[in-house]
Amino acid sequence: MFYLIISTLFFTIFSTSISSLHAEEFWVTLTNDLYKNAKYQGNVPMSYEGENYKTGITLIKIDSAYIDTLSYLKHKNPKLQGFITHYTINEARNFLNKDSINESQQFIPPSVDYTLTQEALIPQFIAEIKESNIVDTIKNLSDFFNRYYKSTWGTQSAGWIKNKWSTLANGRADITVSEFKHQFAQPSIIMTIKGKDKPNEILVLGGHFDSIAGYFGGANNRAPGADDNASGISVITETIRVLLEKNYYPSRTIMFIAYAAEEAGLLGSKDVANDCKKKNLNIIGVMQLDMTNYKGSEKDIYLISDNTNVRQNTFIGTLIDNYVKVSWGQSACGYGCSDHASWTANGYPASLPFESTAEEYNPNIHSENDLLSVTNNRADHSVKFAKLAIAYVLELAK
């Protein structure tokens, strides 16, 4: 009892101190179970703004300092679903009032053909994948003390990715590598390869690069984020390397994106996807790579079934069967669990191939123990996702 009283007193004093340092407030849509856990078990101060009883989503207002806490609570209990952070109350209410984040009606542009036609080409590209390159990129990214979206290291790691991708581009005139600026310091990084025949039809391959650890003070906590999500960025980087070293020129435009601030409630991808929607860009398909290197379940690849596109998921299953040739299944991860949800919310077809079932992912994420050593300094599981990513690009950007 004495310990409880002292702990509660410390939490109150510490919480007050944290709040006094952060005046910024966010509006957050989250599942009712995460809301109740944060309020009653996590003692997170918040104001209740509303609830959609049909979908079980709650809207709250919260000090930005406690975004870390929501992220911690979500990953501490795999049964809890995620959350999406909003800058304004109007944006948050629009999300709350949707019957479902899957309101896109599974729209696929009529120009998209899911028939496999690149059987002769794709194995040649897949043969060029090097596990050692994926390992090296994971090492480089996890060497940053953290990649938290408000930390200096978070901004520096964005610069590292930009430089790496720019080097791979090697001055090609059809390629640009740029920063996408947000309302916070950490930018997202976008490499664009302009399509030579259908430049206005765009394929997206993305993953977040920020990392987080701890209950409070994310900017000061060690968060190597080797699996979550240096592994996804490393797969994307190796995909870029193989395509460019094979002198590949796509018919459709390809955007490779490293998203900022996913751990803070999909902030980076939400900004990027909203911007694409505002500009009325014709995004024909989106693949999200978030955690690829920990084989926690029986099968090799799991396609997330909720808040994703059914037809594209079926197509990706066909790619796995024909080109990757490993076992795969499906799993649901819930509301706002990764950046694919930002694209789905804007009506774009998105998919998330994942390293395990949603309940059996790497238990070391969001801690100082999310290290490459957990997977014996190997990236053999990630290689499967690199094969899939190359197949996805070559079949859809044709």
pLDDT tens, residue by residue, 280-335: 999 999 999 999 999 999 999 999 999 999 999 999 999 999 999 999 999 999 99
For the cut 70, the answer to whether the pLDDT of residue 226 exceeds it is: yes
The reply to whether 119 belongs to the active site is no
Average pLDDT, integer, range 337-346? 95
The reply to whether 238 belongs to the active site is no
Q: What would the two tokens of residue 67 be?
A: 């975004």
For the cut 90, the answer to whether the pLDDT of residue 145 exceeds it is: yes
What three-state secondary structure class fits 116?
coil
| pLDDT, position 17 | 35
Task: Band the pLDDT of 23: cuts 50, 70, 90.
Answer: low
Which of 222, 247, 211, 245 is CA-nearest to residue 133?
245
Catalytic residue among 63, 201, 210, 262: 262
For the cut 60, the answer to whether the pLDDT of residue 1 exceeds it is: no
For the cut 60, the answer to whether the pLDDT of residue 94 exceeds it is: yes
The reply to whether 210 belongs to the active site is no
Burial 162-172 (b: 16+ CB within 10 A, else e): bebbbebbeee
| pLDDT, position 101 | 64
> 282-288 and 198-208: which strand pairing?
parallel
Catalytic residue among 75, 182, 340, 366: 366
Question: Of 1-15, 48-62, 234-248, which range is least confident?
Answer: 1-15
Sequence-distant (6+) residues with CB within 8 A of 277 are 346, 347, 348
Catalytic residue among 228, 271, 300, 339: 228
Sheet holding 175-180, edge to edge: 175-180, 188-193, 252-259, 198-208, 282-288, 350-351
What residue ranges define each of the domains in the chain, with the CATH number in brackets? Answer: 18-97 (3.30.70), 122-396 (3.40.630.10)
Catalytic residue among 263, 271, 339, 395: 263
The reply to whether 227 belongs to the active site is no
Catalytic residue among 63, 227, 290, 306: 290
Q: Where are the alpha helices (DSSP H) in the chain?
A: 2-21, 32-36, 67-76, 89-97, 122-126, 131-142, 152-169, 231-245, 267-278, 310-319, 340-345, 380-396
Catalytic residue among 208, 300, 370, 395: 208
The reply to whether 340 belongs to the active site is no
For the cut 80, the answer to whether the pLDDT of residue 207 exceeds it is: yes
pLDDT tens, residue by residue, 96-121: 887 666 544 567 888 899 999 999 99
Average pLDDT, integer, range 200-222? 96
For the cut 50, the answer to whether the pLDDT of residue 16 exceeds it is: no
Report the percent of the chain where pLDDT is more than 90.
Answer: 85
pTM of the model: 0.93
For the cut 70, the answer to whether the pLDDT of residue 374 exceeds it is: yes
| pLDDT, position 80 | 87
For the cut 70, the answer to whether the pLDDT of residue 86 exceeds it is: yes
The reply to whether 263 belongs to the active site is yes
